Amino acid sequence: MKALLLDDTHPFLEQDLRAGGLQLVREFSALLEELSASHSDAEVLIIRSRMPVDADFLSQFPSLKVIGRLGAGLENIDLAEVEKRGISCQRIPEGNARAVAEHALGMLLSLLNNLPRVHREIKEGKWLREPNKGRELQSLKVGVIGYGIMGSEFAELLANMGVQVLAYDKYKRHYAPKGIQEATLEQLQAEVDVVSLHLPLTDETRGLADVQFFNGFTKPVHFINTARGSIVKTDELLMAMDEGKVLSASLDVLEYEKSSFTSLFRGELPKTLRQLLERENVLLSPHIAGWTKESFEKMGRGLAAKVLEALQPY
């Protein structure tokens, strides 16, 4: 069987797929028409987010049996079309869940303790202790919205540190282990001091974090998003910060990404991004929360196993 790799992957993934009997073809830059002309017989597709996998794309590969997504998000894949064609779609969110949880925790602790600001102040020769008094995480309640593989990892990491955690998942019931409190969205918004999003990007979640969302919180909150940038309306987040409803923002993903990893802006920065960068209560990272040496290895090996298992009936 031929496996077509459209994005850079981990050597473990390629090694294990070859050991499973697959012929690998690496095409990291070719356009769709070039791919279909040379590789229309591909039975396996390994992707990250270089191009949308829609009906037009799938029609170019009539022999396709399995799609492997090296990562968690599936927003660049037309899942209805994939199902209609009987293609198995595999992803590996468990491979980078721990990395995402630790990154979110690190960003939160940095802002709770004013680390970006004090680092700048010391570089300027200022030694200011009292104005930079921080907060201990155990004194705060943390709300986790979305209790899938990512959200549950973050929630359980916090719970194991003795932090009070409330979890909300619209589509689940009786899911939370001891130490984590299941809540409605309204209850979560009434009680928490910190809120972290762990949701896929869908038509339902796009723009979820808007004025109405931030107005729903009883107390000012620290806000974390390591999921997808388009879940947040950046201008309305800035408005909530100006009004004191959001105390800090930890953002690993931005609304300006045209796909899971690629920045849309070139040259001049968008106005709302410039405004984010001007604030010392904002911490940004370039969609790297799940991108560690360990997670890359786990994703590579784990995805290979899932793809090979999905091919067994063939």
Strand order in the sheet with 88-91: 23-26, 2-5, 44-47, 66-69, 88-91
| C-alpha triplet 106, 110, 114: angle, nearest 5° | 175
| Active-site option among 43, 153, 255, 257 | 257
| C-alpha triplet 211, 216, 219: angle, nearest 5° | 110
Q: Which helix (H) or strand (E) holds 30?
A: none
Is 222 among the residues known to form the active site?
A: no
Contact at 8 Å (CB) between 68 and 90?
yes
Is 287 among the residues known to form the active site?
A: yes
| Active-site option among 287, 294, 301, 309 | 287
Q: What whole-number distance in Å separates Cα of residue 195 and Cα of residue 143?
A: 5
| Active-site option among 156, 228, 236, 255 | 228
Biggest CA pair distance of the chain: 67
Is 103 among the residues known to form the active site?
A: no
Q: What whole-number distance in Å separates Cα of residue 194 and Cα of residue 228?
A: 18
Residues that are catalytic: 228, 257, 287
